[in-house]
């Protein structure tokens, strides 16, 4: 690998069981009045996380306003509405409390609270205006309650423009969280299926950032460790969500994978999944990635097997004496076993209402909305290639 890279990871991370309570005493909060962004499902209220967070913030001298409309696949309309609430209430920072959708939305709300126009004016791909947010963003605090997206350790935010079915990731230096709290105790309440979906998302972040043509030494080290940890501990957490060791290991692996997304990038596997859940928002991101994964990575491994052997070894596969191509296939076999071990083997695209005739639409959308990730994929993929990957995944 050519040593030619930049390293920028400015987020302060407070990690460990019980760390949510440090909101009460930490000197690192970046303001005096916070907009707290949570999901519309009610989980943050049901489990008491919202009450605890706002209580701790109050004891630390912070006023709070709550915005609670965020969907699992968040949309630009709620970003703009949340930004209006922040401005109307003179909030000087934004807290994302919950999974990736809430934290991503908090990042985007923080941008729109201090910049004019519409959110899509600042999106670089698809129908976006490509403008630079010259106002920067309000400071962001991320409190993650799932081990899935790594958004607490990267600048990326994924939002959908529902009118045009564009689900696009975007980020800037100003959208790195100022402070992130990762408390594995908050993840014990996550249901088994959601644990599986979010864990697979983190797994693929690590895999993709390792394969990306822009990977670097630090992202490689963290990605391989994350792959190993998730392979070992995700099946345990799916079977027993109260296993705090498994939850803690997964939380760290997820944060590692998020750091990898700051230093390297995801590849076109994500472009292809974004197209699926842009049109079918009930498809959880991790579910979509999993259903596409065997077809996608098989296509890459057959054409450029380099580095797949490292991933296979990280998953615990014995590749001693294997050729480069054989070790790449060992990763594919390991991936199939892993998907089975977390209970997602039976899920198919058709189960979510997706039709074969949708696949051409997905293909076009994946290049239009998230085409830049194809540029850093280690195999050059044409639209015919991508359609073939979708077709194979659909048939499987």
Q: Which residue has the tokens 């045009």?
A: 164
**Per the structure block, which two tokens stand in for 79?**
């970003």
- Taking only the tens place, the pLDDT of each residue in 257-302 is 999 999 999 999 999 999 999 999 999 999 999 999 999 999 999 9
Give the pLDDT mean for 76-92. Answer: 98
Question: Which domains, from first to last, does the chain contain?
Answer: 12-187 (3.40.50.1970), 192-395 (1.20.1090.10)
3-state helix, strand, coil in the chain (%, to 5): 55, 10, 35
User: pLDDT confidence of 396, banded at 50, 70, 90?
Assistant: confident
pLDDT (tens digit per residue) in 95-104: 999 999 999 9
In 3D space, the residue among 274, 300, 276 whose CA is nearest the CA of residue 360 turns out to be 276
As a whole number, the mean pLDDT across the chain is 97
Residues 349-371 have a mean pLDDT of 97
Q: Over the range 273-309, which residues count as b (16 or more CB within 10 Å of their CB) and which as e?
A: bbbbbbbbbebbbbbbbbbbbbbbbbbbbeebbebbb
Judge contact between 363 and 274, C-beta under 8 A. no
**Phi and psi, residue 210, nearest 5°:** -70, -35
pLDDT of residue 1: 59
Confidence band (pLDDT; 50, 70, 90) for 3? confident
Q: Each residue of 119-139: pLDDT tens digit?
A: 999 999 999 999 999 999 999
Q: 15-62, pLDDT tens digit by residue?
A: 999 999 999 999 999 999 999 999 999 999 999 999 999 999 999 999
Whether pLDDT at 110 is above 80: yes
The per-residue DSSP string of 347-365 comes to: --GGGGT--TTHHHHHHHH
Is the pTM value of this prediction over 0.95? yes
What's the pLDDT at 198?
98
Question: How confident is the model over 66-83, as a mean pLDDT?
Answer: 97
The residue-averaged pLDDT of 237-259 equals 98
Mean pLDDT to the nearest integer, 73-86: 97
Buried b (16+ CB within 10 A) or exposed e, 321-334: eeeeeebbbbbbeb
On the CB side of 18, CA atoms within 13 Å amount to: 0
3-state secondary structure of 187: helix
pLDDT given at position 4: 86
């Amino acid at each position: 690998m050519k040593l030619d890279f930049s390293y920028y990871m400015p987020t302060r991370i407070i990690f460990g069981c019980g760390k949510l309570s440090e909101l009460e005493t930490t000197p690192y909060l970046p303001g005096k009045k916070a907009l707290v962004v949570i999901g519309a499902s009610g989980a943050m209220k049901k489990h008491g996380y919202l009450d605890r967070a706002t209580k701790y913030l109050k004891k630390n001298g912070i006023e709070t306003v709550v915005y609670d409309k965020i969907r699992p696949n968040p949309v630009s309309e709620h970003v703009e509405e949340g930004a209006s609430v922040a401005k109307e209430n003179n909030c000087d920072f934004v807290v994302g409390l919950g999974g990736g959708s809430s934290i991503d939305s908090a990042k985007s709300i923080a941008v729109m609270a201090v910049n004019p126009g519409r959110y899509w004016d600042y999106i670089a791909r698809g129908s976006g205006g490509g403008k630079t947010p010259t106002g920067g963003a309000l400071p962001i605090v991320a409190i993650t309650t799932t081990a899935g997206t790594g958004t607490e350790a990267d600048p990326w935010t994924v939002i959908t423009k529902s009118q045009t079915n564009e689900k696009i990731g975007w980020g800037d230096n100003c959208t790195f969280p100022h402070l992130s709290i990762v408390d594995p105790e908050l993840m014990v309440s996550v249901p088994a299926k959601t644990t599986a979906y979010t864990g697979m998302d983190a797994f693929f972040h690590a895999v993709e950032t390792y394969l990306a043509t822009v990977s670097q030494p630090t992202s490689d080290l963290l990605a391989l460790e994350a792959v190993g940890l998730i392979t070992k501990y995700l099946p345990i957490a799916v079977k027993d969500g109260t296993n705090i060791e498994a939850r803690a290991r997964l939380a760290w692996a997820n944060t590692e994978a998020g750091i990898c997304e700051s230093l390297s990038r995801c590849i076109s596997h994500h472009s292809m999944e974004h197209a699926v859940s842009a049109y079918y928002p009930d498809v959880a991101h991790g579910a979509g990635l999993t259903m596409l994964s065997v077809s996608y990575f098989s296509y890459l491994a057959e054409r450029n097997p380099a580095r797949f052997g490292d991933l296979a070894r990280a998953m615990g596969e014995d590749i001693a004496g294997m050729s480069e191509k054989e070790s790449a296939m060992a990763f594919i076999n390991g991936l199939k076993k892993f998907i089975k071990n977390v209970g997602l083997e039976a899920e198919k695209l058709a189960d979510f209402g997706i039709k074969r005739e949708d696949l051409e639409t997905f293909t076009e959308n994946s290049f239009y909305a998230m085409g830049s990730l194809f540029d850093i994929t280690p195999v050059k993929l044409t639209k015919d290639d991508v359609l073939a990957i979708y077709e194979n995944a659909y048939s499987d």
